[in-house]
Every structure is written in structure tokens, then in C-alpha cells.
């Protein structure tokens, strides 16, 4: 039990605690409407979309929304920068995974959380669910999630946003 307490404390003290634990309610229908009209504009490096709101007369109106990386950093309080790396040397990651008790093959494109020791298995599980983009197959962690975990554990800069 003690090692799980340490992992929970680590998550609470990490720079991504708010991104992982913030519980704002967002309805599926709102998310669907947002992404149905969303498109990326390269010139201002932002996602543009249209959402529906009520005006002062309780009438539905369409409102343009623009989301930038800066907005994501500010809202989730990630404390990262554009110049922070988005890739970690593979050798560094693999060395850390072995120190985390990883017993699987390290020359794969996906890493199985079941191959980590129990407390780290919990950390990987938490991160895969919170930061992964998959709808299933939660036993596997992709390389960018493992890069984030590596940088968090080693307290290195990483451009999470």
C-alpha cells in the first residue's frame, strides 16, 4: 500500500496534476458539436470551431471559438514552453522503464502496462487513460505517453501541450 501512496503523492505534486484530476463537466453532445465543426488553421496555429450559446433573450446563437496551445497551457496549468522538447532519447526512456520494473520487450512500438511493477503500473494506467487518444486497448502505452512519464519522473522539461 505504501508504494501506491507514494505514486499518488507524486501525481499530486506533478506539474500535470490539474490536467489529470480536474473534473469539469462536459457533455458528450457539446464535445460532438465542437469537433464536428472544428478545423485547424495553420496561419494562427489554432483550432477554430463554432458552438451554440444562449443570448440574453434566451435565443440560440452560434459563437466562433478559437483554441490555441497557449489556451491549453493556461487552462491546464502545464507549465511547459514551445521550446521544450517533444521527444526523449529512446535509451533514456528504456533505462528508466527497467528501473520502474518493466519486464517486457523494449523494442516494440507499444509498451504494456502489465509489464511494470504494481505502483508504476498504476501510474502508467492513469496516464494512458488521461492523456492517451485511444478508445480501447488501455493495456498498451504509446511512445509519447511514455516520453511524458519519463520526463515527469526525471523532472525534465517536456512540451506536453
| 57-104 pLDDT tens trace | 888 888 899 999 999 888 888 888 889 888 888 888 888 888 888 887
138 secondary structure, DSSP code? T
**Do 116 and 61 share a structural domain?**
no
Paired with 68 in beta bridges are 46
Range of the domain at 107: 2-16+80-153
Predicted local confidence at residue 111, as pLDDT: 74
Is residue 88, in this structure, part of any structural domain at all? Answer: yes
pLDDT exceeds cutoff 90 at 120:
no
**Do 61 and 140 share a structural domain?**
no
Cell numbers 532519447 correspond to 89
Q: What is the mean pLDDT of the chain?
A: 82
CB 121 within 8 A of CB 127: no
Report the DSSP pairing between strands 140-142 and 60-68.
unpaired
CA-nearest of 154, 50, 15, 136 to 97 is: 154
**Do 129 and 109 share a structural domain?**
yes
**Do 97 and 148 share a structural domain?**
yes
**Do 6 and 32 share a structural domain?**
no
Instruction: Give the side-chain half-sphere CA count within 13 A for 127.
Output: 31
Among 11-15, 44-48, 92-96, 107-111, which is the least confidently predicted range?
A: 107-111
Q: CA distances (Å), 156 to each of 37, 80, 92, 159, in order?
A: 36, 10, 12, 10
- Rg of the chain taking only CA atoms, in angstroms: 19
Alpha-carbon span 90 to 152, nearest angstrom: 15
pTM value surpassing 0.85:
no
Amino acid at each position: 500500500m505504501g508504494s501506491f501512496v507514494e505514486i499518488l503523492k507524486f501525481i499530486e505534486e506533478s506539474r500535470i496534476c490539474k490536467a489529470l484530476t480536474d473534473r469539469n463537466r462536459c457533455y458528450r453532445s457539446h464535445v460532438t458539436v465542437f469537433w464536428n465543426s472544428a478545423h485547424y488553421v495553420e496561419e494562427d496555429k489554432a483550432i477554430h470551431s463554432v458552438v451554440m450559446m444562449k443570448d440574453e433573450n434566451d435565443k440560440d446563437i452560434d459563437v466562433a471559438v478559437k483554441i490555441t496551445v497557449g489556451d491549453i497551457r493556461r487552462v491546464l496549468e502545464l507549465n511547459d514552453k514551445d521550446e521544450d522538447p517533444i521527444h526523449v532519447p529512446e535509451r533514456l526512456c528504456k533505462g528508466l522503464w527497467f528501473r520502474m520494473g518493466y519486464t517486457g520487450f523494449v523494442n516494440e512500438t507499444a509498451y504494456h502496462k502489465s509489464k511494470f511493477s504494481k505502483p508504476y503500473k498504476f501510474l502508467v494506467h492513469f496516464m494512458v487513460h488521461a492523456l492517451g487518444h485511444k478508445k480501447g486497448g488501455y493495456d498498451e502505452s504509446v511512445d509519447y505517453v511514455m516520453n511524458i512519464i519519463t520526463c515527469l519522473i526525471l523532472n525534465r522539461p517536456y512540451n506536453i501541450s
